[in-house]
Amino acid sequence: MAEKVAPVKEWRSLPDAELRTRLLEIRQEMWQHRIKAKSGALQQVHQIGALRKQIARIQTVIREQQLATAGKKV
């Protein structure tokens, strides 16, 4: 089952490598849910949408960190 969504404030404090690891885990979980949904075994289909939102939020935080480090280098 999908775990409770971590607040974005917590994600902003994590290092880039840990965020990317978490992103891969969520993508794998979403893939499993999609397979279950296609076979009819997934009871809570809304979890797929929730996982998509988590992925988008993590990607946003990663991009924010990239822009912050690029701004410091200039």
Work out how many domains the chain is built from and give that number. 1
Q: Judge whether 1 lies within some domain.
A: no
Q: Judge whether 3 lies within some domain.
A: no
- CA distances (Å), origin 6, targets 22, 54, 55, 57: 11, 9, 12, 10
Share of the chain above pLDDT 90, in %: 66
Using DSSP's 3-state secondary structure scheme, residue 6 falls into coil
Q: How do residues 25-42 score in pLDDT, each as one tens digit?
A: 999 999 999 999 999 998
Q: What is the rounded distance in angstroms from the CA atom of residue 74 to the CA atom of residue 72?
A: 6
Q: How do residues 6-16 score in pLDDT, each as one tens digit?
A: 678 888 899 99
Helix 16-39 vs helix 46-73: crossing angle, to nearest 10: 160
Question: Average pLDDT, whole number, for the chain?
Answer: 88
**Cβ contact 19:63 at 8 Å:** no
Q: Judge whether 56 lies within some domain.
A: yes
| Confidence (pLDDT) at 33 | 94
- What is the domain-level CATH number for residue 54? 1.10.287
Report the predicted TM-score, pTM, of the whole model to 2 decimal places: 0.81
pLDDT band at 74 (very low <50, low <70, confident <90, very high): low
Which domain does 51 fall in, by range? 8-73
